[in-house]
Structure 1
Amino acid sequence: MGSSFNISADREHVGPWTFTAEQVQESILRHWPQATVSGAFENFLEIVADVGAARSAELSYNLRHAVFSFEDRGSPVAPLTVIHQVLHDLAPTVPVVWWIDYDVDLQPLDLTGGLDAFIAGFPA
C-alpha cells in the first residue's frame, strides 16, 4: 500500500481555509472544463483533471479537515498544478504546508513564488 501526500493551510499561523466545495469545483472547472469533480460524498471531493502534456491529476479534497491529498504515484506535478491553481484563486495569501501520511512533519510550500516555486518546494 502506497503513501499519500497532504496539503493544507498552515493552521499554526492562520487556521484552516474557509472556501467551500462549490468554490473549489468552480475554480477547477474554470481552468480545466473537462475535469470531473465529484459531489461532496462523505465530506470528500474527488477530482480528476487533465492538466496538459498527457498529465492527469487525481486528488481529493477533504471538506471537513480542509486538506488536499494525492497518492505517491510518480510525478506530483499534475496534482500540484491543480492545487496551486485552486489556492491561487481562493486563498493566495494563506501560508501552505505539506506532509506525507506516515510522517506528520509539516513542511512549508511557497504559494507566492508561482507554480514552479510551489512544485520545487515539494519532494521529487
Structure 2
Amino acid sequence: MGSSFYVSADHEKAGPWAFTGDQVTASVRRHWPDATVSSAFEGFLEIVADVEPGRPAELSFNLRHGVFGFEDRGSPVGPLTVIYTVLNDLAPQVPVAWWIDYDVDLQPLDLAGGLDAFIASFPA
C-alpha cells in the first residue's frame, strides 16, 4: 500500500491560505488548459494535469482544510509542479510545509526559490 503526501500552509508560521477552490481551478486551467478539475465533491477537488508528457499529475485539494494531497506513485515532480504553480499564483508569500500520511512531522518547502528549489526541498 502506497503512502500519500500532503502540502499546506505552514500553520506554525502563518495562517491558512485565503484562496478558494474556484481560484485553484482557475489557476490550474490557466496554466494547463486541458487539465481536468472536478467540481467539489465531498469537500475535494480532483486535479489531473499533463505537466510531463505522458505522465499526468494527479492530485487533490481539500477545500475544508486547504491541503493538497497526492499519492506516492513514482516521481513527485508533476504534482509538485501543479502545487508550486498554484501557490505562486495565489499565495506566494505564505510559508509552505509538507508531510507524509504516516508521520505528521511538518517539513518546509521552499516556495520563494523557484520551481526547482521547491521540488528539491521535497526529498521524498
TM-score tier, shorter chain, comes to over 0.9
Q: Show the counterpart of 1:91.
A: 91
Q: Which moved more, 1:58-67 or 1:9-18?
A: 9-18
CA distance in 2, matches of 1:12, 1:121: 18
Describe the superposition over 1:16-45 as per-residue Cα deviations: whole angstroms up to 9, x where unpaired: 111001000000000000000001101100
Q: Which runs of 5+ in 1 are unaligned?
A: none
The normalised TM-score by structure 1 is: 0.97
Aligned-residue RMSD, C-alpha? 0.8
CA distance in 2, matches of 1:109, 1:12: 13
User: Which AA in structure 2 matches 1:90?
Assistant: L
Q: Which SS does the other structure have where 1:30 is aligned?
A: helix
Describe the superposition over 1:39-83 as per-residue Cα deviations: whole angstroms up to 9, x where unpaired: 110110000000133331000000001000000000000000000
Asked whether 1:5 is paired with 2:5, we answer yes
CA distance in 1, matches of 2:102, 2:123: 15
Q: Which SS does the other structure have where 2:93 is aligned?
A: coil
The normalised TM-score by structure 2 is: 0.97
Which runs of structure 1 show a deviation greater than 3 angstroms over 4 or more consecutive aligned residues?
Answer: none
User: Which AA in structure 2 matches 1:111?
Assistant: L
Q: Show the counterpart of 1:103.
A: 103
Describe the superposition over 1:75-113 as per-residue Cα deviations: whole angstroms up to 9, x where unpaired: 000000000000000000000000000000100000000
CA distance in 2, matches of 1:3, 1:9: 20
CA distance in 2, matches of 1:30, 1:24: 10
Q: Show the counterpart of 1:116.
A: 116
CA distance in 2, matches of 1:79, 1:110: 15
CA distance in 2, matches of 1:52, 1:78: 6
Q: Show the counterpart of 2:24.
A: 24
User: Which AA in structure 1 matches 2:46?
Assistant: E
Q: Which moved more, 1:73-82 or 1:13-22?
A: 13-22
Q: Which runs of 5+ in 2 are unaligned?
A: none
